[in-house]
């Protein structure tokens, strides 16, 4: 009980002084690291990743290369417009969009802070068309512009800082066993209690705003439902407890997207 109280107190102080409200979502986010520094780190990691993987150029596969460039640029233009309409263009400071297609069987895509995007070739057959690809790219890019990367790094920093603070306090006392127990238990406790639940929140937010961005870019948001239905069929039965999930179940995701569809369709019709 003492360990729990100390860990919560440490994290509470960090959270109190490190939280800001997201200008778009309105959700309070822990921000212990700056967006600019994260963008610098992301650019280094991005270049390193590209140097170690097979990048698909127009010379290699013009059709697939062109579709990734087309969808990416349309999504980026929609996001720029969306933020400008809300008077929040400064939120995209430092963004220099770049879209790369990488040879891999993985059904995946991601976007780093600063607008550095990678799509894996394994995603294209599942996306099936431009609209399906736009749903995924909109979702991944939404993670970046909503500062989810910055938030996740900050959460992990807070967990480490909290552990160090309390670990230091305990190690100075006579109960070295308690210190060892805390160091062993703290990381998984932080993962289940803080990092993963916030990750699920981030996934839901990325679905929400990614749907809007895809719609504003001229892609039918209804494609999101059929895309995730395809993903659900690919995944098969999944009995992972919700507590341990970093992503919502496909069934939950589809239900949420259906609920958000009227809003997305308004953006689609108004483009």
Q: What is the DSSP letter of 24?
A: T
Residue 85 phi/psi, 5-degree rounding, is -60, -25
Q: Residue 193 belongs to what domain range?
A: 2-270
Q: Residues near 263 by Cβ (< 8 Å), separated by ≥ 6?
A: 212
Average pLDDT over residues 94-105: 97
Annotated catalytic residue within 35, 130, 140, 205: 140
Identify the residue with better confidence: 83 or 148: 83
Write down the pLDDT at residue 182: 34
pLDDT of 35 higher than 70: yes
How many structural domains does the chain have?
1
For residue 191 the two structure tokens come to 């993962």
**pLDDT-derived band at 155, boundaries 50, 70, 90:** confident
Write down the pLDDT at residue 162: 56
Rounded Cα distance between 105 and 237, Å, is 21
Q: Residues near 63 by Cβ (< 8 Å), separated by ≥ 6?
A: none
pLDDT of 157 higher than 80: no
Write down the pLDDT at residue 245: 62
**pLDDT-derived band at 250, boundaries 50, 70, 90:** confident
The pLDDT tens digits for 170-199 are 444 434 433 343 344 334 454 445 545 568
The pLDDT tens digits for 206-233 are 999 999 999 999 999 999 999 999 988 8
Q: Where are the beta strands (DSSP E) in 51-115?
A: 55-56, 98-102, 109-112
pTM confidence score = 0.80
140 is an active site residue: yes
Rounded Cα distance between 56 and 53, Å, is 9
Average pLDDT over residues 54-58: 98
- Nearest alpha carbon to residue 23 among 102, 82, 76: 82
CB neighbour class for 171 (10 Å; exposed up to 12, middle 13-18, buried from 19) = middle
How many other C-beta atoms lie within 10 A of the C-beta of residue 263?
Answer: 14
The pLDDT tens digits for 7-33 are 444 455 445 556 889 999 999 998 887
């Amino acid at each position: 009980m003492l360990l729990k109280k100390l860990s919560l107190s440490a994290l509470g102080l960090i959270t109190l002084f490190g939280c800001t409200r997201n200008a778009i979502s309105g959700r309070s986010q822990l921000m212990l690291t700056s967006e600019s520094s994260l963008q610098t780190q992301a650019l280094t990691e991005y270049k390193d990743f590209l140097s170690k993987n097979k990048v698909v150029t127009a010379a290699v596969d013009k059709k697939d290369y062109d579709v990734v460039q087309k969808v990416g640029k349309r999504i980026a233009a929609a996001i720029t417009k969306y933020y400008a309409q809300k008077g929040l263009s400064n939120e995209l400071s430092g963004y220099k969009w770049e879209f790369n297609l990488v040879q891999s069987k993985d059904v995946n895509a991601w976007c780093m802070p600063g607008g550095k995007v990678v799509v894996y070739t394994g995603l294209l057959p599942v996306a099936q068309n431009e609209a399906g690809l736009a749903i995924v790219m909109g979702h991944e890019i939404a993670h970046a512009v909503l500062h989810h990367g910055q938030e996740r790094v900050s959460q992990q920093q807070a967990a480490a800082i909290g552990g160090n603070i309390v670990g230091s306090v305990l190690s100075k006392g006579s109960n070295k066993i308690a210190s060892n127990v805390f160091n062993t238990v703290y990381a998984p406790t932080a993962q289940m209690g803080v990092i993963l639940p916030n990750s699920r929140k981030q996934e839901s937010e990325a679905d929400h705003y990614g749907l809007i961005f895809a719609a504003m870019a001229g892609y039918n948001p209804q494609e999101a439902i059929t895309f995730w239905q395809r993903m659900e069929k690919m995944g098969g039965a999944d009995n992972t407890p919700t507590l341990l999930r970093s992503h919502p179940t496909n069934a939950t995701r589809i239900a949420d997207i259906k609920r958000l569809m009227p809003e997305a369709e308004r953006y689609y019709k108004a483009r």
